[in-house]
A and B are shown apart, each in its own frame.
Chain A
Amino acid sequence: MAIVIQPYRKEHESAVQEFNRRLQASGDHNLVFSQTCVPRWLPPANGNPVWNEFYVALDSSPSGTSVRGAYGLKQEALFVRGKGVQRIACYHHPLSEGIVDRAFTSVGMLLARDALARQPFLYALGMGGAETPIARMLKALGFSLTAIPFYFRIVRPARFLRQMQALRDVRWRAILMDIAAASGTGWLAINSAQRLRRWNGGMSEVVVEELSEFPDWADEIWERAKETVNFATVRDARTLRLLYPASVTSTRRLRIRRNGSPIGWAIIGIRRKDAKFGEMRVGSIVDCWAMPENALAVVRAAAQALEKDRVDLIVSNQSNQVWCDALKRSGFFSGPTNFIFAPSKKLTELLEPLETGSFHFTRADGDGLPVNF
């Protein structure tokens, strides 16, 4: 057996299907790699600033070629204050046959090392926490692990208390939550706590409009606001049109104006069903951009749009302190996070000092858009 990692091509598709079948035989139906070599999300195209590409680990033997692993790279541009724009890549969807067959234990490492060889300025995002096998492996390879804060605001307390499965795993707590929901004490307590945190202001003369696509005005806001963060993946109009095209309806594009002038934008969406949220309708402030003084107005506009969409809970992952503060001043609470930003050793060196709060990463970075919405 000799493992060779190559770009995923048409002739590998049937072997990838076999690979998926072997992984899914373990009973975990999330273990699946793209059945098509051309990515459905962000396919490569000449001149595009952001695109996806896939790689497969091929195991050739006299009886044929099998796929033993695969991963994706989202190629994109990162603005680093004082250093300009740097090409980087997000390492995502790494899958190894080692998950189900210990004969292939080394494949996971080979995938990560191959990705690093192709793009030393590499990062991973999410990963389900810092203690998962993928996060531990990247840490061993010299990646830094930084947790990106998580915020939530409960819109419908009774639904939250009855449906929030992540909190109802202990029987006595589930009973208390049912009592709080039925008696109205939960509604009172949650609303009181959220109102105490909410700052009433910053919304005068603010108008929200939904866009079908990002016009060029987004460039101006990008250029002005990028100098207020240490680093952020490029969010100019051209990139935004690729990330949030008019054809995608699972997320909504909001433009926020004050006194007639655009001050920022937000991407909102309804999250896919997730067992930990039960039957709740969960809205998300996926992405946002504005000058710091306008962050509060943008967050509040996005939250109001989601409330009008009859969500039970609003969630958001934001790394930047300005946006974290805007969420807190809009009645959001911080919660435990398993959303990890992990830059490679070389990328960490470029970004140092890697201070949480100084950079802008959200749920829209990495591969989170098609996965969650």
Chain B
Amino acid sequence: MSTFDEVRGIASDILGIGTAKLTTDSSPDTVESWDSVQHLNLVLALEERFSLQLSPEEIEQMKTLGATAALIESKLQASPR
């Protein structure tokens, strides 16, 4: 499973929306349930699932699901599990 697929699965659970409806371009602008609270829940879930910490600058990069997956991927490569 790719990092994007894992991130999409987590986002699907948190946002209460089917994975098929989530694309790399999905964002708070396009997903109604993606509000500030769910954004926090997404950050916390990603930190727990991938055993990493996201800095404020990195959280700011999470504009879309694709950008979020790319960020996670780069952090995983920087510090391999």
Contact = CB atoms under 8 A, between A and B. Distances in A.
Interface of A: 1-5, 96, 98-99, 102-103, 105-110, 112-114, 133, 136-137, 140-141
A120 B11 CA distance: 28
A121 B62 CA distance: 28
B30 to A, nearest CB: 9
Contacts of A114: 56
20 contacts: A2-B57, A3-B56, A3-B57, A4-B56, A98-B36, A102-B35, A103-B28, A105-B28, A105-B36, A106-B39, A106-B43, A108-B36, A108-B39, A108-B40, A109-B36, A109-B43, A109-B59, A110-B60, A112-B40, A136-B37
Given A105-B36, A137-B36, 10 more contacts: A96-B36, A98-B35, A106-B59, A108-B40, A109-B36, A109-B39, A109-B40, A110-B59, A114-B56, A133-B36
Interface of A, secondary structure class, is helix
B60 A137 contact: no
B56 A102 contact: no
A41 to B, nearest CB: 27
B63 to A, nearest CB: 8
B29 A102 contact: yes
A102 B37 contact: no
Nearest to B38: A105
Interface in B26-58: 27-29, 34-37, 39-41, 43-44, 56-57
Q: Identify the interface centre among B36, B37, B44: most chain A CB within 10 Å of its CB.
A: B36
Contact of A102 (B28, B40, B60): B28
A133 B37 CA distance: 6
A132 to B, nearest CB: 10
